[in-house]
């Protein structure tokens, strides 16, 4: 059994780590951001009251695995954020910096194992311990709980993925590019340490079109299941 929920909002911002003040966003929530979202919903503490860079919920979220699907077309919006100028306030009390946001994002998150049971309880009751957001605290999110479903094994030799595809070195993947109508590739942060340092990245593939699916003609080593009538690929467990 596994659970699924949709998360959406007017904007999202998942900052790429190589950008500083002028932030550029990933097009979808990295697994590391989804881990923080799940921890916030169920109320796992991060220990930041004792150490600012602490991220202790990574110990409690072990054994959880997720899948991610993109439901709205990826479109971008550039806005200006007004910051306090702490370095040279005598010159100007504020500095205005451009930020790139995902416009009208909507994603589907699938969760299995680990915090699944506690997460289900909170989603069914609508009791979020911390306010869910799409990356930054001001990108507030609406969550729609979809339910608790059986996951079924996949036996076909050719499949159409509804979700993002995690690509690991041990996978043997063959993609029908014409049937998939194109795919994008991105490297996302996958897991952090309890000190909030990057522990692991993961390469992902996703369809160039929301209506399109990634058509796989070979998928040896990939963890795929049917979730209702959707074929999804699971990220490794944390």
Element (H, E) at 157: none
DSSP letters spanning 94-131: EEEEEEEEEES-EEEEEEESTTHHHHHHHHHHT--SS-
CA dihedral sign of residues 160, 163, 169, 170: negative
Look at residue 49 in the predicted model and tell me its pLDDT. Answer: 64
129/39 Cα distance (integer angstroms):
9
Q: Does domain 2-233 have CATH number 2.40.10.10?
A: no
Strands, sheet with 172-175, edge to edge from the N-terminal-most edge strand: 159-161, 214-220, 172-175
Beta bridge partners of 161: 214
* CB neighbour class for 90 (10 Å; exposed up to 12, middle 13-18, buried from 19): exposed
150/2 Cα distance (integer angstroms):
6
Look at residue 157 in the predicted model and tell me its pLDDT. Answer: 86
DSSP letters spanning 19-45: --SS--B-SS--HHHHHHHHHHHHT--
Question: Is the distance from CB of 203 to CB of 187 less than 8 angstroms?
Answer: yes
Question: Is the distance from CB of 8 to CB of 16 less than 8 angstroms?
Answer: no
Look at residue 111 in the predicted model and tell me its pLDDT. Answer: 97
**pLDDT tens digits in sequence order for the chain, 238 residues long:** 899 999 999 999 999 988 877 789 999 999 999 999 999 999 988 776 667 677 788 889 999 999 999 999 999 989 888 888 777 777 778 878 888 999 999 999 999 999 999 999 999 999 999 999 999 999 999 999 999 998 888 988 899 999 999 999 888 999 998 888 889 999 999 999 888 888 999 999 999 788 889 999 998 999 999 988 899 999 999 9
Which three-class secondary structure state does DSSP give residue 58?
Answer: helix
Neighbour count for residue 185 (Cβ, 10 Å): 10
Neighbour count for residue 170 (Cβ, 10 Å): 7
Look at residue 161 in the predicted model and tell me its pLDDT. Answer: 94
Summary count for the chain: helices (H), strands (E): 4, 16
Instruction: Name the CA radius of gyration of the chain, rounded.
Output: 19
Instruction: Provide the residue ranges of all domains of the chain, joining segments of one domain with +.
Output: 2-233
216/221 Cα distance (integer angstroms):
13
């Amino acid at each position: 059994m596994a659970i699924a929920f949709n998360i959406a909002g007017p904007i999202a911002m998942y900052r790429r780590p190589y950008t500083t003040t002028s932030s550029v966003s990933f097009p979808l929530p990295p697994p590391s951001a989804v881990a923080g979202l799940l921890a916030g919903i169920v109320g796992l503490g991060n220990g930041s009251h004792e150490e600012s860079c602490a991220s202790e919920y990574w110990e409690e979220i072990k054994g959880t695995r997720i899948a991610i699907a993109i439901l709205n077309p990826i479109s971008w919006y550039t806005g200006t954020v007004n910051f306090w100028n702490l370095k040279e306030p005598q010159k100007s009390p504020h500095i205005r910096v451009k930020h790139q946001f995902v416009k009208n994002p909507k994603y589907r998150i699938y969760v299995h194992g680990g915090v699944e049971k506690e997460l289900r309880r909170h989603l069914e009751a609508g009791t979020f311990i911390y306010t869910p957001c799409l990356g930054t605290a001001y990108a507030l999110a609406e969550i729609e709980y979809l339910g608790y479903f059986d996951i079924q094994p996949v036996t076909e030799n050719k499949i159409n993925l509804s979700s993002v595809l995690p690509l690991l070195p041990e996978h043997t993947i063959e993609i029908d590019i014409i049937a998939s109508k194109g795919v994008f590739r991105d490297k996302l942060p996958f897991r952090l340490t309890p000190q909030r340092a990057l522990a692991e990245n993961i390469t992902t593939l996703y369809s160039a079109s929301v209506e399109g699916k990634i058509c796989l003609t070979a998928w040896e080593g990939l963890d795929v299941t049917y979730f209702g009538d959707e074929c999804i690929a699971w990220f490794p467990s944390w």
